[in-house]
A and B are shown apart, each in its own frame.
Chain A
Amino acid sequence: MTTIAPATTIASYARDFSKNEDGAEWLTALRNKAWAEFESLGFPTKRRGNELWKYTDLRVLDTKAFSRAEAASALSSDDLRKIAPWNDDWHTAVTVDGQFSSELSRNLSGDDIAISNLIETAERDKAAVEPALGSVADIAGNAFVALNTALFKSGVLVKVDRDAEPAQPIHILHIVTAAGADNRAFYPRILLLAGENSKTSIIESYVNVSEGSQFTVPVFEASLSDGAAVRHFRVQLENEQAIHLATTRTEQPDSAVFNSTTFATGPAIGRNDVHTNLSGEHSETNLHGLYITDGSSHQDNEISTTHQKPHGTSHQFYKGILAGKSRAVFSGKVLVQAGAMKTLALQKDLNLLLSHGAEIDTKPSLEIYADDVKCAHGATAGHVDPTMLFYLMSRGVRREDAAIMLVSGFASEIIEEFEPESLREFLYSRLERIIPELDSEGIL
C-alpha cells in the first residue's frame, strides 16, 4: 500500500491549523513543516503491512472529526483536589481544556526549576526553545507527533537547572471539563529540559470531568543532559469515550537516567508509545506500567528503547488487567546497536485476564547487533489463580473480596512505584473503585 486515501476528516484538522496564531516566525515554520508531514502521512488507519499499527484499529478517525478545543471553562482548585492527584507543595502546571491556566498553576519557579507556557516562552525566548522543540520527538513518519506539533495550543515547558534537585515533584495536570461540545481534540505538549546532573521527579496526568467523546494527542519530549536523572510518572484517567494516543520520547546522553511508571485505565482507544534513546554510555531507562482495560476498550503499549552506546541498561516491565471484551497490546522492542556492548536489557509483560472475552497480544522483542550483551524477555497471560482464591476464602474472605484482593495485589507491584505517597494513595483509591466494577463476565 503506498497511496493513502484522502480522509474526509482531515479538513477539520486543517481548519484548526488555519486558526494558529503564532507570533514567532521560526515557530510558524516548524508548524508548517509538521502540518505538511501530517497531511502527507494521514492517520495510520491501514493496518495491513503496518507493523506499528497491526493491532490497533483507528478507522474511526477517518469517519469522526474532532476539532481542537479553543476555549477553557472555569474551574477552581477545590474542584481539582477532588478529581486529580494534588498537593499544594508540588510545582503544579495545570492546563484546562488544552489551555495553560496561570490561575490554577502554582509554585512554577524556585527550587532551581522554571515551568512556563511553552508557546509564550518560545515567542519570547527563541534561543531557549527552538533548538529543543521537536529535536527529540521527531515529526518524521509519525502522524501523531506531527499533528501535535502542528496544533498544540499552549504546551508546558519545564526547565531544570544544572545540578538542581528540586525537593518537590513537578506535576503537569491536564484536565478536560464537561463544558463544550463533544468531539473536542486536545494536543498536550510537554518539553522537559533536564540540566546536567539534575534530579527531577515529574508527574504527567490526564483527568477529565467530561463524559463526552474526545481525542487527546499528547507528546512528552524529554531532553536530558549528561548525568541527568528523571523520574517520570504518567497517570491516564480519561473517560471511556476518549481516544488517547500518547507519545513519549527521550534523548539520553552519558549517564542520563529516565525511569517511567505509568498507570492507564482504558479509554475507548489508548496508545502509549514510548521510545527512549540511550545515545550515551552508562545511560539507563526503566519503563514500567500498569494498564487496566474493560468493556470494549483497547490499550496499545508500544514501548521501545534503542541502545547506541556501551554499558546501557533498560528494563521494560508492564502489567495488564483485562476485563470484559477489552483488548490490550504490549509491543516491547529493544534495539541494541552495533557498538552498544555490555548492554543489559530486560523485558517482561504479565497479564491477568479476568474474562474469557478479553484478549492480549503481547510480543516483547529484542534486536541485537552488539556482542557481550545480556538480554532477556518474557510474557505471560493467565486467569485468577484458583489456588490463591481458595487460600484467601479458606480464611473467611468472601469470594468477591478475595478476587478483588488478588487483582489489587497484582496491580500493586506497579502502583507501589509511584511517589510521593499522596500520589500512590490517590491511585490506590482509584483502583479500589475501578476493580470491583470490572466485568469478569461472571467467572469471578
Chain B
Amino acid sequence: MLEVTNLHARVVDVEDGEILKGLNLTIKPGEIHAIMGPNGSGKSTFANVLAGRIDYEVTDGDIKFEGESILETPADERAHKGIFLAFQYPAEIPGVRPWQFMKAALDAKHESSGEKKLSVREFSKLFDSKVAEVKINPDLMKRSLNEGFSGGEKKRNEMLQLAILEPKLAVLDETDSGLDVDAMRIVADAVNGLRSPDRSFILVTHYNRLLNHIKPDVVHVLANGQLVETGGPELAVEVEREGYKRFLEEHVPANA
C-alpha cells in the first residue's frame, strides 16, 4: 500500500530546515501502524508530506502509494487516490459549511474515479448517518467549518470526514489528543469499524491509551527525522513507561 524509502524533507521557507532525514516505512494493506516520538521530531511533518503539503520539499527518497510514486501528485489528487490526513490542528474555514465541503470533496473523488456523483438527497442521507455515527453535535454542522469548535469537536469532525470519504490510507495525527474518554471510544470505534483487509492506518500518538482500543500491528518510534525503532504493541508500553531517552541516546543525528 505505502512504501517510503529514504525520505528527506525540509521546510521550504527555512534555510537548513531539514526535518525528515532518511525515513523508511512500508505498510501493507490492512495494517495499522502507530508512530510515536518526542515533540518536534517530525511526525506531523511526515503526515503532511504524505498528504502533499507544498510547504515541505522532498529533497531525497521516494513515496510510493499502491506501487506508484506520488511525489509529483498534488494534494487533491492524493486524496482521490485514497490518502486521508486527520490533522493535528484542523484549520478553521470561515463561511464554508461542513455539509457543502464534504459534498464537494466526495463529488471530486467520484468525478476522478468516474463514479456517479451522489444526488443532494443521497448525500444528505449519508452525511446525517455519519454525523450520528461519530456522535458529533448536529448543531455544529450549521456553523462554518471548525469555527468555534472546541479542540475535541474539531477532532470528531476529522473523524466525520474520514467516515464519509472512506480512504484507503488514513493518517491520524494525534487525533486522540484532547479527547475525552467517550470521544476516544468513538475514534477507536470508527477506526475499528473501518478496518478492512484493504484499508490501512497510521496512528500518530503520544499515548498508549488509544492503542489499547485500536490494536496496532506495528509500532515505530520517530526520532531525529528517522524511524529509529520498530516493534509490536509492547514498544508503545515501553515508551509510555520509559520515555524517549534511550532512542535519542542511541541515535544521535549524523550532523550533531
- Give A contacts to B, CB under 8 Å: 385-388, 390-399, 401-402, 405-406, 408-413
CB distance from A293 to the nearest CB of B (A): 19
Taking CB atoms, residues of chain A closer than 8 Å to B80 are 396
Q: Is B224 an interface residue (CB 8 A)?
A: no
Pick 13 A–B contacts, CB within 8 A, sort by A: A385-B91, A390-B75, A392-B96, A392-B105, A393-B74, A395-B101, A396-B109, A396-B165, A397-B104, A401-B108, A405-B96, A409-B144, A413-B94
Q: Is B191 an interface residue (CB 8 A)?
A: no
Given contacts A391-B91, A402-B76, 8 further A-B contacts (CB under 8 A): A390-B53, A392-B96, A394-B53, A396-B76, A409-B93, A409-B144, A412-B94, A413-B94
Interface string of B60-103 (1 = CB under 8 A from A): 00000000000000111011100011010011011110001110
Residue contact A392 to B101, C-beta cutoff 8 Å: yes
Residue contact B101 to A405, C-beta cutoff 8 Å: yes
Q: Is B51 an interface residue (CB 8 A)?
A: yes
Taking CB atoms, residues of chain B closer than 8 Å to A410 are 94-95
Taking CB atoms, residues of chain A closer than 8 Å to B112 are 396
Interface of A is mostly: helix
Q: Is B52 an interface residue (CB 8 A)?
A: yes
Taking CB atoms, residues of chain A closer than 8 Å to B165 are 395-396
Taking CB atoms, residues of chain B closer than 8 Å to A402 are 76
Q: Is B161 an interface residue (CB 8 A)?
A: yes
Report the contact-size class of chain B (Cβ under 8 Å from the partner). Answer: 20 to 34
Residue contact B91 to A395, C-beta cutoff 8 Å: no
Residue contact A394 to B79, C-beta cutoff 8 Å: yes
Q: CA separation between A280 and B93, bound complex, in Å?
A: 40
Known: A393-B75, A397-B76. A387 touches B108 (CB 8 A): no
Taking CB atoms, residues of chain B closer than 8 Å to A394 are 51-53, 75-76, 78-79, 84-85, 87
CB distance from A295 to the nearest CB of B (A): 24
Q: CA separation between A398 and B104, bound complex, in Å?
A: 9
Residue contact A398 to B76, C-beta cutoff 8 Å: yes
Residue contact A387 to B104, C-beta cutoff 8 Å: no
Q: CA separation between A36 and B78, bound complex, in Å?
A: 69
Q: CA separation between A411 and B144, bound complex, in Å?
A: 12
CB distance from A432 to the nearest CB of B (A): 12
Q: CA separation between A84 and B75, bound complex, in Å?
A: 39
Taking CB atoms, residues of chain B closer than 8 Å to A392 are 93, 96, 101, 105
Taking CB atoms, residues of chain A closer than 8 Å to B55 are 386, 390
Taking CB atoms, residues of chain B closer than 8 Å to A395 are 79, 84, 101-102, 105, 161, 165
Most buried by A among B76, B79, B165: B76
Taking CB atoms, residues of chain A closer than 8 Å to B79 are 393-396
Taking CB atoms, residues of chain B closer than 8 Å to A406 are 93, 96
Question: Can you list the 4 inter-chain pairs with the closest CB atoms, starting with the nearest?
Answer: A409-B95, A396-B79, A412-B95, A395-B105
Residue contact B95 to A408, C-beta cutoff 8 Å: yes
Residue contact B94 to A409, C-beta cutoff 8 Å: yes
Q: CA separation between A409 and B76, bound complex, in Å?
A: 19
Taking CB atoms, residues of chain B closer than 8 Å to A401 are 104, 108
Interface string of B27-63 (1 = CB under 8 A from A): 0000000000000000000000001111100000000
Residue contact B104 to A405, C-beta cutoff 8 Å: yes
Most buried by B among A385, A399, A405: A405
Taking CB atoms, residues of chain A closer than 8 Å to B84 are 394-395
Taking CB atoms, residues of chain A closer than 8 Å to B161 are 395
Q: CA separation between A410 and B144, bound complex, in Å?
A: 11
CB distance from A144 to the nearest CB of B (A): 34
CB distance from B91 to the nearest CB of A (A): 4
Taking CB atoms, residues of chain B closer than 8 Å to A386 are 54-55
Q: CA separation between A221 and B85, bound complex, in Å?
A: 55
Q: CA separation between A74 and B46, bound complex, in Å?
A: 66
Residue contact A387 to B96, C-beta cutoff 8 Å: no
The chain A residue sitting closest to B108, CB to CB, is A396
The chain B residue sitting closest to A391, CB to CB, is B91
Taking CB atoms, residues of chain A closer than 8 Å to B144 are 409
Taking CB atoms, residues of chain A closer than 8 Å to B52 are 393-394
Most buried by B among A385, A392, A402, A406: A392
Taking CB atoms, residues of chain B closer than 8 Å to A399 are 74, 76
Known: A395-B165, A397-B101, A397-B104. A409 touches B75 (CB 8 A): no
Residue contact B93 to A388, C-beta cutoff 8 Å: yes
Q: CA separation between A399 and B101, bound complex, in Å?
A: 13
